[in-house]
Structure 1
Amino acid sequence: MVKLFSKVIQNRRDNPNAKHSDGTDILSIFMEIKYKDGSLISDEQVTGLLIALLFAGQHTSCISSTWTSLFIASDPSIMKRIIEEQEQVMDDPGAPLDFDKINEMQLLHDCMREALRLCPPLILLIRKAMKDVPVKAGGKQYVIPKGDMVFVSPSVGMRLPSVFPNPDTFDPDRFGPGREEHKQPYAYLGFGGGMHSCMGQNFAFIQVKTILSVLFREYKITPLFDKMPDIDYEAMVVGPKGDCRIRYQKR
């Protein structure tokens, strides 16, 4: 992939006057990024940004839709409620699936959030302390020195029983009225947090909910596994380990 992108970038550098686009394509934008001193970022950095964009915009959504569908398919009671919600929202089978209807699919939305809580795509979030940061934990006071790197694991943080009761159980209702366990500050890190949280999270919800809405309405989904697959923490983007097949039958 690095070789492929490097070749494309070099070709763009070698032919600056060729008509590639109106200059608003993402490659043109990346190649024009400058530091405060006016220098351009390197081709290696452009390549890294392109690869990051590809993984962030495609692979994570693919993994998220996989986990969400697996959890729903493995719980008949949740599946029944999902189908009922789809029938209620899409009361006219011939109506187009639009933005407003997608937003009405609250249970599907919460199922995706719960799947991300149990199986976040990234196992680590990294931040740099820009100043000394006082932290109180376990009744003790600590200081994170300026310049130190801080590593946070959503996989650990989102399974803390003090925040999410029965943390290993798939329970989309934990996000609903009366519970809203995710509202404790920085308790839910499915898309990171703070100033550098994922800017594409709203698009990700629309994308995955659109895919799953069509699948659940058009097909009867039956899991062909006895238990949920283990989580592959060694993967770059955390997906299922081993086979986890599902049968699709046209409704």
Structure 2
Amino acid sequence: MASASPPPPSTSLTSQKPLSSPPSQLPLRKMPGSYGLPLLGPLADRLDYFWFQGPEKFFKTRIEKYKSTVFRTNIPPAFPFFGDVNPNIVAVLDVKSFSHLFDMDLVDKRDVLIGDFRPSLEFYGGARVGVYLDTTEPKHAKVKGFSMELLKRSSEVWRRELLSNLDNFWGTVESDLSKNDAASYIVPLQRCIFNFLSASLAGVNTSVSPDIAENGWQMIDRWLAVQIVPTTKIGILQPLEEIFLHTWPYPFFLVAGDYKKLYNFVNDNAGEILQLGEEKYGLTREETIHNLLFILGFNAYGGFSVFLPSLIGRIAGDDSGLQERLRSEVRRVCGPGSGSGLNFRTVNEMELVKSVVYETLRISPPVALQFARARKDFKISSHDAVFEVKKDELLCGYQPLVMRDANVFDDPEEFKPDRYIGQTGSELLNYLFWSNGPQTGTPSESNKQCAAKDIVTLTACLIIADLFLRYDNITGSAGSITAVVKAK
């Protein structure tokens, strides 16, 4: 596919609620909502978003108020005294309107990863890394091509490094459980993720640098946190959070030492990958290093650190019999008691495992907010109306609500492990948008869909399969394991 645009909104789903009429049959409606008075409007919306309501209620109350899933409002951050950030957005909160964010003929993705706010380029060594480039910029094709080539080259070592680091991860969990009633697994999981990604993407085993091996994951955590904390609800004591975390962008010097160490680690050890970026894709060595660090740290490590605890917690906390069904499928496909048959091909045969991964991505998408700027004036349609959008307006979708669109998903608030099984389930993948495009889309140099869309889901499937080859049952939550029963 040349673009990540989903199929036409008029597509109907067998045994699912059909999507509404095509745009030509919908009424043209004046877009509701407003930005309020200068300074006061954005401030009131910011307090609602971070403090009084929280992100989900913020959007839900406005849907109810305007009787529309498309409306104008403000979204944080807004730094009236510390930076020039425009908080005005057009909210698109249903599957049909949200899908416009992936039509590259209609929208521009330049510098809108976190809305109108972009952290200082110092965080990336002064380079505008690929995620901030629009598809019309010549360098985008080079960086996207480099990203896809990294994944292609790493496919041979990805499985091996993942399973090797999972051995260490589960060994740590079991050791902690032998001493305590519960084992917090977030830190061991982040170590596992960082180590296997370093070996797979950069081609460097962290053991070459004791400091990186011990602390690299923490360096990435700090680097990520300083960039995104002004836009993120933390949930600590208000008004301290509002005053100290959301009032200004944080400077790079707070993590400059960490980033320099990560830069040196890549520069000194990832020669083959850096040569690839320079010779095949025409990037400078500096550009290659900074893009590699962003792919490894922000895209891969950051995404997995958010998504995998949701996945493990969902399975560990289930009491519906799902674990037994997953265990049966994994061992039927791979054979019991051995990981020798575990690979990308075999997990691709596990329908229930894949469906659980997809459903977790629907309920808990790793990236909640998606943005795009109107490339031109155009008409955007929701399920029941059409609205006019002006050139340069910023569109914003809150994916946890979009992915619970009752016009598309039956019982949208319910976690259904079998949702994506069979023909009907396969059709629903057209509307699973976690990867900056539909799950049925194909990442390419001409779109902004996540280059690792397929390998992310297959990696999650590998982790589930590995779990049920090791254990008959686990108990826990999205943060800790309280018991494991080893496979007989």
Answer whether TM exceeds 0.5 for this pair: yes
Q: Is the 8 A contact 2:326 2:353 kept in 1?
A: yes
Task: Tell me by how many angstroms 1:115 deviates.
Answer: 0.6
Deviations 1:153-203 (A, max 9, x none): 111100122211111211022212253286375x32122217212110111
Instruction: Name the CA distance, whole Å, in 2 between partners of 1:23 and 1:176.
Output: 38
Instruction: Name the CA distance, whole Å, in 1 between partners of 2:265 and 2:429.
Output: 49
* Structure 1 stretches of at least 4 aligned residues deviating more than 4 Å after TM superposition: 7-13, 25-29, 45-49
Instruction: Name the CA distance, whole Å, in 1 between partners of 2:356 and 2:270.
Output: 42
Instruction: Verify: 1:54 aligned to 2:304, yes or no.
Output: no
CA RMSD of aligned residues (A): 3.5
Q: TM-score, normalization: structure 2?
A: 0.40
In structure 2, the partner of 1:232 is: none
SS at match of 2:312: helix
Instruction: Verify: 1:21 aligned to 2:271, yes or no.
Output: yes
Q: 2:329 aligns with which of 60, 81, 85?
A: 85
Given the superposition, is the C-alpha separation of residues 206 and 128 from structure 1 closer, same or farther in structure 2, using an over 3 Å criterion? same
Q: Is the 8 A contact 2:473 2:484 kept in 1?
A: yes
Given the superposition, is the C-alpha separation of residues 126 and 7 from structure 1 closer, same or farther in structure 2, using an over 3 Å criterion? same
Instruction: Verify: 1:5 aligned to 2:259, yes or no.
Output: yes
In structure 2, the partner of 1:249 is: 485
In structure 1, the partner of 2:7 is: none
In structure 1, the partner of 2:464 is: 212
Instruction: Verify: 1:106 aligned to 2:351, yes or no.
Output: yes
Deviations 1:1-37 (A, max 9, x none): 4423246658999xxxx997246368868xx647xxx
In structure 1, the partner of 2:412 is: 167
Task: Tell me by how many angstroms 1:108 deviates.
Answer: 0.6
Given the superposition, is the C-alpha separation of residues 6 and 19 from structure 1 closer, same or farther in structure 2, using an over 3 Å criterion? closer
Given the superposition, is the C-alpha separation of residues 103 and 179 from structure 1 closer, same or farther in structure 2, using an over 3 Å criterion? same
Instruction: Name the CA distance, whole Å, in 2 between partners of 1:139 and 1:151.
Output: 19
Q: Is the 8 A contact 1:129 1:148 kept in 2?
A: yes
Instruction: Name the CA distance, whole Å, in 1 between partners of 2:342 and 2:265.
Output: 41
Unmatched tracts of structure 1, length 5 or more: 35-39, 226-239
Task: Tell me by how many angstroms 1:211 deviates.
Answer: 1.8
Q: Is the 8 A contact 1:72 1:78 kept in 2?
A: yes
Instruction: Name the CA distance, whole Å, in 2 between partners of 1:88 and 1:115.
Output: 23
Unmatched tracts of structure 2, length 5 or more: 1-222, 224-254, 439-446
In structure 2, the partner of 1:229 is: none
Q: 2:367 aligns with which of 122, 133, 154?
A: 122
Instruction: Name the CA distance, whole Å, in 2 between partners of 1:154 and 1:49.
Output: 27
Given the superposition, is the C-alpha separation of residues 80 and 92 from structure 1 closer, same or farther in structure 2, using an over 3 Å criterion? closer
Identity score, percent: 20
Q: How many residue pairs get matched?
A: 222
Task: Tell me by how many angstroms 1:150 deviates.
Answer: 1.0
Deviations 1:93-114 (A, max 9, x none): 4433222212111211110100
Given the superposition, is the C-alpha separation of residues 173 and 122 from structure 1 closer, same or farther in structure 2, using an over 3 Å criterion? same
In structure 2, the partner of 1:158 is: 403
> Which one is further off, 3-12 or 66-75?
3-12
Given the superposition, is the C-alpha separation of residues 165 and 138 from structure 1 closer, same or farther in structure 2, using an over 3 Å criterion? closer
Deviations 1:62-110 (A, max 9, x none): 4323222222231432111101101210126443322221211121111
Q: Is the 8 A contact 2:475 2:484 kept in 1?
A: no
Question: Larger helix proportion, structure 1 or 2?
Answer: 2
1:152 is aligned with what amino acid? G
Instruction: Name the CA distance, whole Å, in 1 between partners of 2:351 and 2:323.
Output: 14
Q: 2:313 aligns with which of 41, 47, 70?
A: 70
Q: Is the 8 A contact 1:220 1:250 kept in 2?
A: yes
Instruction: Name the CA distance, whole Å, in 2 between partners of 1:108 and 1:153.
Output: 26
Q: Is the 8 A contact 2:327 2:468 kept in 1?
A: yes
Deviations 1:118-164 (A, max 9, x none): 11111101112222221123543212222222111111100122211
Q: 2:449 aligns with which of 189, 197, 205?
A: 197
Deviations 1:33-75 (A, max 9, x none): 47xxxxx98x8x9758724531321232243232222222314
Instruction: Name the CA distance, whole Å, in 2 between partners of 1:204 and 1:151.
Output: 24
Instruction: Name the CA distance, whole Å, in 1 between partners of 2:275 and 2:360.
Output: 33
Instruction: Name the CA distance, whole Å, in 2 between partners of 1:58 and 1:153.
Output: 22
Task: Tell me by how many angstroms 1:218 deviates.
Answer: 0.7
2:259 is aligned with what amino acid? F
SS at match of 2:424: coil
1:21 is aligned with what amino acid? G
Instruction: Name the CA distance, whole Å, in 2 between partners of 1:47 and 1:62.
Output: 20
SS at match of 1:104: coil
In structure 2, the partner of 1:188 is: 432
